[in-house]
Amino acid sequence: MKVTLTVNGQQRSDEVEPRLLLAHYLRDTCGLKATNIGCDTTSCGACTVVVDGLTVKSCTVLAAQADGSQVTTLEGLAGPDGELHPMQKAFREEHGLQCGFCTPGMVMAAIGVVADNPDPSDREVREGLEGNLCRCTGYHNIVRAVQSAAKAGPAAGQVPQSQEVAR
Amino acid sequence: MSILGTRVVRTEDPLFLTRGATYTDDLVDDRLTGALHATFIRSQVAHGRVLSVDASAAREAPGVVAVYTAEDCPDLAPLPAGLPMVPPAMQRPWLATDKVRFVGDIVAVVLTEDRYQGEDAAELVSVDIDPLPTVVSTADAAKDEVLLFEEAGTNVAAVFGGPPPEDFFSGCEVVVRQAVKNQRVAPVPLETRAAAAAWGEDGRVTIWCTNQGAQQAKGEIAGWLGLDPALVHLVTPDVGGGFGAKIGADPEYAFVAWLAQRVGRPVRWTENRSENLLGMLHGRGQDQLVTIGGRRDGTVEAYAIHVDQEAGAYPRVGVILPTLTMLMAAATYAFPKVHASARVLVNNATSIGAYRGAGRPEATAAVERAVDMFAAEIGMDPAEVRRKNLVPPFHEPHTTPSGATYDSGEYVVALEKALEAAGYQELRAEQARRREAGEVKQLGIGLSTYVEITGADTGLGAAESAELEVHPDGTATVLTGTSPHGQGHATAWAMLASDQLGIPVEKITVLHGDTDRIPRGGGTMGSRSLQQGGAAVHQAATELIELARQRAAEQLEADPSDLEVDLTAAGLSVRGTPGSGITFAQLAEKEPLVVQTRFEAAAPTFPFGAHVAVVEVDTESGKAELQRLVAVDDAGIIVNPLLAEGQRHGGFAQGVAQALLEEVLYDADGNPQTSTLADYPFVSPTELPSFELVDMATPTPINPLGAKGIGEAGTIGSTPAVHNAVIDAVAHLGVRHIDMPTTPMKVWRAIQQAQQEGTN
């Protein structure tokens, strides 16, 4: 079947199998490899992307279901001149990533957390990220990064293509 | 001012945060064009005789290029058992032939054009297995009634040491004995296992795979397949976590290379999480018996530990874990008598391997539990018992009764720092208040002191290599034999070179994990990287300066001894005459300015520390919540505090997870109960607090950096502190011990049982 999506601001149409997962569509059809797949039970959140302003786990959505949607992945966050999104910047400054595998999903989910709550407490960040697993950081610096990004302003809760993000 | 010791943010991160890292499954490479996808068909029976494997329907399925069962590859020799102490009969076949021995044993493999077709075709392979009685626990394995390998005649894979002398505890006023389980856990790096292989027209194979050391992985794969190592080019792409479970190669990686040769096309394999939880090595898996004896004044006189180690179905690195547990049995203590022994048993479960700490966390967990039980038995504060028995501060080598020679340590200082930072007396007062008031939520305070061995491969000839080259454009390249997978070597190694050469960190590229470019290397494991690989980079920079000095002396017509490093210029200048000299980049214009070196430390190092955990236990539900973790971790001199703290945080989380939550479970028939992340209770952000870190840095004389390992310390210290805290919270109710993980059900049952015993 044919699907038409806007991925990181660019519209594209592709012929896909009806059963193709959005995560595989992004990785294999679009060649956007930042979005990772870390489980098969919607548990780890490594595949989190923003679809029409909502953070979703792309392993649990079919490409067909996303037909007509706007999708933002990690690759779509930085400015055209390479300027880092406030959440990307905060993850770097606070050492919120180590091996980097959970990071693309974690950054997208974190944007959703700040979109919902512009000044989250330690506990609120943890509850907001409960569906995203990290094995390296113990979450400590991820929490610091999300709080630091939130303090920098509302842009930390927005993605370039769609200004409203909610979880 | 030196860049060392400063919080330099990672050079890796801009790419990781904008395009993502490039893991094995992300690779786009011409050599992999048209690659087939491998899908392994695994046994769903823990122990049984293979009656038939019928792949005929799968062979007709869409996209299927080939299906291999054991019958289809008779030329593959069985994998060697690997370790000299293991009975040779305990070999792993590539594909199950007569028997399967765990849920996850490979029975067949399907090659398809795409990965969805592989899953479809795998469903069509019909496997008929006649189940046999299973061996799940070490106690069952030890009976030798049901054997995994009949030809071996036993389930015992190895024995280390014998029982202690009969009078070992005679004369002790108090002797406490307890069976302690150090449960089987799953490492769960977020990136599962993955490999790709392509053969070139030159007869060489390029293998890309996720691992913790390309050179070791290459050696193993070449050995297993009987290939000339010169024909194997192994490349390690970015690696999404390892934690010990990606040390060396896995048979699947070699199999992918064999399949690619057999079908004449490149082959890729990326397992999904369910396959990973069955197929990747698990960690820990020890049944321990600890005995501690001493006087009522708190002096411990003797300590003994026996370990029954699970090996899983096919013995791998897990076999040697108890030797590290035995080596570190004496821990931080000056116990006059220490005895340790172990036995390793095969069982119908996933093979055991290294997992963050690998044998040392098990040693610390055992002794820290023993000390707490001894303290409870004599009615003394556990902090006081530790003070009485810790090895006093030392800066000359200290050899323990269990045979380890520690480099330097100040264990009492670490303990006092942790107690002070935690506010120990106030915590005890609050605990007393809650106990007095009979509150539902009780407070538990748990302590641990630890010492561990890092860089344990030193002295065994496993040095680390480094190559350093300065280029004419002023940039530099470091080639390292370590294998970063989150630790930040690209940043830290660049800092080490920058510190001596004056070349900015951003201009230094660190490369690893390509066996053609870096033929020798030890990889990243056992917290060895900085003290071996980092020290090698440091040494390379020193040697490069000497090389540059000779060349500059010729060019400047100066005496070499009059030349000194000018960090501002990134070059050499005549002493006392800044700006008179020549830069390293200029020296590289005429001929390459490059050095290759190897560094080998004379001995391992022994990081240490003390942790205090504060938990709240709901005595009605049994639920334990970690409220605080205060950690003193002394890893000697710190090169980059940002990275070192990150290592500690991650270690804490995995240690806490073992104490509170995580366990790989099998039912009585060997069926895994935790084979997805929906079932395996991987620690989430809500189950952890932010951590409280206390700094302490006692240099080691073993390497020029003064650095010890930091990768595993957090895990080693946190597990027993949290475990002890949970038991401490309910100790006044009569509970003496609860095995990990201290889940609500186990805590609740322990309270119920203690209360019943109290009323009887």
Concatenated DSSP letters of B196-224: EEEE-TTS-EEEEE--S-HHHHHHHHHHH
Q: Are B190 and A46 in contact (CB under 8 A)?
A: yes
Token pair, residue B20, equals 């993502």
Q: Which of B69, B103, B132 is the last residue of a domain?
A: B132
Quick one: B413 and B432 in the same domain? yes
pLDDT digits (tens, 9 = 90+) for B308-326: 999 999 999 999 999 999 9
Nearest residue of B to residue A103, measured between CA atoms: B17
Q: Is A43 on the interface with B (CB under 8 A)?
A: yes
Q: Hey, how many other C-beta atoms are within 10 angstroms of the C-beta on B9? A: 17
Query: Can you point out the beta strands (E) in A24-91?
Result: 48-51, 54-57, 70-72
Quick one: B630 and B751 in the same domain? yes
CA geometry: angle at B719 spanning B301 and B715, to 5°?
A: 110
| Residue among B14, B239, B690 whose CB faces A140 most closely | B690
Strands B64-69 and B156-160: unpaired
B1 versus A155: the higher-pLDDT residue is: A155
Q: Is B627 on the interface with A (CB under 8 A)?
A: no
| Residue among A33, A39, A78 whose CB faces B273 most closely | A39
Concatenated DSSP letters of B627-644: EEEEEEEE-BS-S-HHHH
Task: Indicate left, alpha or beta for A95 from its phi (over 0: left) and psi (-120 to 50: alpha).
Answer: left
pLDDT digits (tens, 9 = 90+) for B122-158: 999 999 999 999 999 999 999 999 999 999 999 999 9
In this structure, is residue B290 part of a structural domain?
Answer: yes
Distance from CA of B157 to the nearest CA of A (A): 31
Class of domain A86-157: mainly alpha
Domain boundaries, chain A: 2-76, 86-157
With pLDDT > 70 as the criterion, what percentage of chain B qualifies?
Answer: 99
Q: Where are the alpha helices (DSSP H) in B379-453?
A: 382-389, 411-422, 424-437
| Residues of chain A found within 8 Å of residue B11, distances taken between Cβ atoms | none
pLDDT greater than 60 at residue A113: yes
Quick one: B623 and B553 in the same domain? no
B689 versus B456: the higher-pLDDT residue is: B689
Strands B194-199 and A48-51: unpaired
Q: What pLDDT is recorded for position B78?
A: 78
Q: What pLDDT is recorded for position B616?
A: 98
**Which value, to the nearest 10 degrees, does the dihedral of the CA atoms of residues B201, B204, B208, B211 take?**
180
Residues in CB range of B739: below 8 A, 6 or more apart: B180, B181, B183, B746
| Residue among B10, B20, B650 whose CB faces A138 most closely | B650
Strands B205-209 and B232-235: parallel
Q: What is the mean predicted confidence (pLDDT) over B199-207?
A: 97
pLDDT digits (tens, 9 = 90+) for A46-72: 999 999 999 999 999 999 999 999 999
Using a 10 angstrom Cβ sphere, with 0-12 exposed, 13-18 middle and 19 or more buried, the burial of residue B349 is buried
In this structure, is residue B191 part of a structural domain?
Answer: no
In 3-state terms, what secondary structure has residue B250?
A: coil
| Residue among B17, B274, B691 whose CB faces A40 most closely | B274
| Residue among A31, A39, A78 whose CB faces B18 most closely | A78
Distance from CA of B193 to the nearest CA of A (A): 11
Quick one: B640 and B719 in the same domain? yes
pLDDT greater than 90 at residue B461: no
pLDDT greater than 80 at residue A162: no
Distance from CA of A68 to the nearest CA of B (A): 24
Q: What pLDDT is recorded for position B462?
A: 64
B268: confidence class by pLDDT, cuts 50, 70, 90: very high
B460: confidence class by pLDDT, cuts 50, 70, 90: low
Q: What pLDDT is recorded for position A161?
A: 65
Q: Is B642 on the interface with A (CB under 8 A)?
A: yes
SS3 content of chain A, % helix, strand, coil (to 5): 35, 15, 45
In angstroms, rounded to a whole number, what is the distance separating the alpha carbons of residues A91 and A144?
8
Q: What pLDDT is recorded for position B76?
A: 85
Q: What pLDDT is recorded for position B459?
A: 57
Q: What is the mean predicted confidence (pLDDT) over B552-565?
A: 93
Concatenated DSSP letters of B504-526: -GGGEEEE--BTTT------S-T
Secondary structure element (H or E) that encloses residue B750, with its range: helix B744-759
What ipTM was predicted for this assembly?
Answer: 0.97
pLDDT digits (tens, 9 = 90+) for B102-121: 999 999 999 999 999 999 99
* A21 secondary structure, DSSP code: B
Q: Which of B65, B98, B132 is the last residue of a domain?
A: B132
In angstroms, rounded to a whole number, what is the distance separating the alpha carbons of residues B216 and B225?
14
CB contact under 8 A, A101 and B240: yes
Distance from CA of A115 to the nearest CA of B (A): 19
Interfacial B residues in 1-20 facing A (CB < 8 Å): 9-10, 12-14, 16-20
A110, A144, A105: which is closest to B690 by C-alpha? A144
Size of interface A-B (CB pairs under 8 A): 177
In this structure, is residue B725 part of a structural domain?
Answer: yes
What is the SS3 assignment for B714-735? HHHHHHHHHHHHHHHHHHHHCC
pLDDT greater than 70 at residue B72: yes
Q: Is A77 on the interface with B (CB under 8 A)?
A: yes
Q: What pLDDT is recorded for position B458?
A: 63
Q: Amino acid letter at A105?
A: G
Range of the domain at B388: 283-454+604-759
B79: confidence class by pLDDT, cuts 50, 70, 90: confident
| Residues of chain B found within 8 Å of residue A42, distances taken between Cβ atoms | 678
Q: What is the mean predicted confidence (pLDDT) over A140-155?
A: 97
| Residues of chain B found within 8 Å of residue A74, distances taken between Cβ atoms | 17-20
pTM for the structure as a whole:
0.97
Q: What is the mean predicted confidence (pLDDT) over A120-143?
A: 98
B81, B73, B91: which is closest to B150 by C-alpha? B91
Concatenated DSSP letters of B161-206: --PPPTTTTTT-SEEEEEEEEEEEE----SS--EEEEEE-TTS-EE
pLDDT digits (tens, 9 = 90+) for B17-47: 999 999 999 999 999 999 999 999 999 999 9
Residues in CB range of B754: below 8 A, 6 or more apart: B730, B733, B734, B735, B736
Quick one: B641 and B560 in the same domain? no
| Residue among A35, A103, A130 whose CB faces B685 most closely | A130
pLDDT digits (tens, 9 = 90+) for B719-755: 999 999 999 999 999 999 999 999 999 999 999 999 9
Q: Are B710 and B717 in contact (CB under 8 A)?
A: no
Quick one: B420 and B512 in the same domain? no
In this structure, is residue B619 part of a structural domain?
Answer: yes
Distance from CA of B235 to the nearest CA of A (A): 17
Token pair, residue B281, equals 């090595």
Q: What pLDDT is recorded for position B576?
A: 80
pLDDT greater than 80 at residue A167: no
pLDDT greater than 50 at residue A163: no
Quick one: B464 and B587 in the same domain? yes
Using a 10 angstrom Cβ sphere, with 0-12 exposed, 13-18 middle and 19 or more buried, the burial of residue B379 is exposed
Q: What is the mean predicted confidence (pLDDT) over B657-665?
A: 98
* Average pLDDT value for chain B: 96
The helices-and-strands tally (H runs, E runs) of chain A is 5, 5
Count of domains in chain B? Answer: 3
B553 versus B578: the higher-pLDDT residue is: B553
Distance from CA of B591 to the nearest CA of A (A): 36
Q: Is A36 on the interface with B (CB under 8 A)?
A: yes
Q: What pLDDT is recorded for position A165?
A: 60
Q: What is the mean predicted confidence (pLDDT) over B614-624?
A: 98
Quick one: B473 and B592 in the same domain? yes
In this structure, is residue B25 part of a structural domain?
Answer: no
Domain A2-76 homologous superfamily, CATH = Beta-grasp domain (3.10.20.30)
Q: What is the mean predicted confidence (pLDDT) over B464-483?
A: 97
Q: Are B698 and B636 in contact (CB under 8 A)?
A: yes
With pLDDT > 90 as the criterion, what percentage of chain B qualifies?
Answer: 95
CB contact under 8 A, B190 and A44: yes
Q: Is B682 on the interface with A (CB under 8 A)?
A: yes
Q: Is B120 on the interface with A (CB under 8 A)?
A: no
Token pair, residue A8, equals 């990181």
Quick one: B589 and B624 in the same domain? no
Strands B156-160 and B99-100: unpaired
SS3 content of chain B, % helix, strand, coil (to 5): 35, 25, 40
Q: Which of B599, B633, B659 is the last residue of a domain?
A: B599
CB contact under 8 A, A97 and B16: yes
In angstroms, rounded to a whole number, what is the distance separating the alpha carbons of residues B6 and B639?
7
pLDDT greater than 90 at residue A164: no
| Residues of chain B found within 8 Å of residue A84, distances taken between Cβ atoms | 14, 17-18
Distance from CA of A60 to the nearest CA of B (A): 14
Q: What is the mean predicted confidence (pLDDT) over B374-386?
A: 98
Quick one: B522 and B466 in the same domain? yes
| Residues of chain A found within 8 Å of residue B654, distances taken between Cβ atoms | 135, 138
CB contact under 8 A, A43 and B645: no
Quick one: B462 and B449 in the same domain? no
B567, B572, B585: which is closest to B545 by C-alpha? B572
Strands B608-618 and B624-634: antiparallel
Secondary structure element (H or E) that encloses residue B38, with its range: strand B36-42
Find the CATH number of the domain harbouring B64.
Answer: 3.90.1170.50
| Residue among A104, A137, A140 whose CB faces B20 most closely | A104
Q: Is A78 on the interface with B (CB under 8 A)?
A: yes
Q: Are B480 and B234 in contact (CB under 8 A)?
A: no
Quick one: B562 and B662 in the same domain? no
Q: Are B356 and B110 in contact (CB under 8 A)?
A: no
Q: Are B651 and B715 in contact (CB under 8 A)?
A: yes
Find the CATH number of the domain harbouring B561.
Answer: 3.30.365.10
What angle do the packed helices B713-730 and B744-759 form, to 10 degrees? 40
pLDDT digits (tens, 9 = 90+) for B393-438: 999 999 999 999 999 999 999 999 999 999 999 999 999 999 999 9
